[in-house]
Amino acid sequence: MSLRTLANLTWDSGLSNPSGILSKAYFCRKGDIKAWPKMKAAPTSAAEAVTFEGDFEFVEGRTAISIYSTQGVGKAEFEPDGGKDHRVYKNKLSLSYPDMNDEGIDFANANINSNGIFIVPHYEAGGKIAYVVIGAEHMDPEVNIKGTSGDKPGSDKGLTIEVTAPDYYALPRYVGILPLPDGTLNCGTGVFTPAGATPPENPGA
């Protein structure tokens, strides 16, 4: 098998380069996914090599949900895992939800021994935003959720959601459509369309 020539890793002086993830992530149970998007078999560019083709298809009546995360606290990251000649990637995510309300505790209880995936938007150089998938089709993630009331006025409280997900790919990107309870999110453009509205055209998709 011939290998594609890799692109140069260049950098423009003075380029805007914000860090961090946005304040909203997305979650769905793996059992609610009917069909997964796939990586391109013969990519011709770096973008094609790291981005899923197609959409997540959900079981009828099921959608992803959104999770607010305090900005400046959570992050997405990856690292290699395993020994020589059989390594995979370990994709990791941390989110911070600032309360222990009914919905938060219900989410924690539902994920104590469950499998799900997270889709998380993070900033890139030049003001771009990439949506990445934490959780693979054939390998199960580990989701740990901790909660605290805080110990004094002004102290940290709420839920800490930590995810560790083995994967063949480092933070694979998703540019497809994500159905939500109140509409759809185009992860290629970042545009949310409320339920019943007509999605805008996306000629670049």
Tens of pLDDT, residue by residue, the chain (205 residues):
358 899 999 999 999 999 999 999 999 999 999 999 999 999 999 999 999 999 999 999 999 999 999 999 999 999 999 999 999 999 999 999 999 999 999 999 999 998 999 999 999 999 899 999 999 999 999 999 999 999 999 889 999 999 999 999 999 999 999 999 999 999 999 999 998 777 676 554 4
User: Is residue 44 assigned to a domain?
Assistant: no
User: Is residue 84 assigned to a domain?
Assistant: yes
User: Is residue 193 assigned to a domain?
Assistant: no
Token readout for 59 is 């079981």
Token readout for 25 is 């992530």
d(CA 124, CA 20): 9
Domain that holds residue 180: 24-37+50-187
Sheet containing strand 65-68, strands side by side: 65-68, 24-29, 116-123, 129-134
According to DSSP, the residues that pair with 167 across neighbouring strands are 89
Where do the H-state alpha helices sit in 38-175?
46-50, 102-110
Q: How many domains does the chain have?
A: 1
User: Is residue 150 assigned to a domain?
Assistant: yes
Residue 91 burial (CB count, 10 A):
27
- On whether the pTM is more than 0.85, the answer is yes
If we measure between CA atoms, which residue out of 153, 65, 137 comes closest to residue 106? 65
127 φ, ψ (degrees, to nearest 5): 85, 5
Report pLDDT for 184.
97
Half-sphere exposure of 127 (CA within 13 A, CB side): 1
User: Is residue 2 assigned to a domain?
Assistant: no
Report pLDDT for 72.
92
Report pLDDT for 110.
95
User: Is residue 82 assigned to a domain?
Assistant: yes
User: Is residue 64 assigned to a domain?
Assistant: yes
User: Is residue 14 assigned to a domain?
Assistant: no
